[in-house]
A = this chain, B = another copy of it.
Amino acid sequence: MRVEVAEARQVARHALINAGTPPELADIQVAALIEAELRGVASHGLLRLPRLVERIRNGVTDPAARGSGRWRSPAVWEVDGGGGLGPVVACEAISHVSERARETGIALAAIRHAGHLGAIGWYAERIASAGQIAVVVTTSEALVHPWGGRRALIGTNPVAIGVPAEPHPFVLDMATGVVSMGKVHDYANRGKALEPGWALDADGTPTTDARRAREGAITPFGGAKGYGLALGFELLVAGLTGSALGTDVTGTLDSTKPSTKGDVIMVIQPDDGMVAPISAYLDEIRRCPPIDEGTAVAVPGDRGRMRKAGALVEGIELPDEIWAALRGLAADEFQES
Contact = CB atoms under 8 A, between A and B. Distances in A.
Interface of A: 72-76, 103-108, 110, 133, 135, 145-151, 153-154, 159, 161, 163-165, 170, 172, 174, 200, 204, 221-223, 225-226, 228-229, 231-232, 234-236, 238-242, 245-246, 266, 268-271, 273-274, 277-278, 281-282, 284-285, 288-292, 295-300
Contacts of A164: 239
Number of copies: 2
Nearest to A151: B288
Nearest to A112: B271
Contact of A150 (B104, B200, B223, B289): B289
B291 A204 contact: yes
Contacts of A242: 271, 273-274
A154 to B, nearest CB: 8
A282 to B, nearest CB: 8
A284 B107 contact: no
Contacts of A297: 146-149
Contact of A225 (B76, B222, B246, B284): B222
Contacts of A106: 73, 75-76, 106-108, 266
Contacts of A285: 146, 149, 153-154, 231, 246
Contacts of A149: 285, 288-291, 297
Nearest to A299: B231
26 contacts: A73-B106, A74-B74, A75-B75, A75-B105, A75-B107, A76-B104, A104-B104, A105-B108, A133-B236, A147-B297, A149-B291, A150-B289, A150-B291, A159-B229, A163-B235, A163-B239, A170-B231, A172-B231, A174-B225, A221-B226, A222-B222, A231-B300, A232-B300, A238-B278, A240-B270, A246-B285
Contacts of A292: 148
A325 B177 CA distance: 45
A239 B133 contact: yes
Contacts of A288: 145-146, 149-151, 153
B104 A246 contact: no
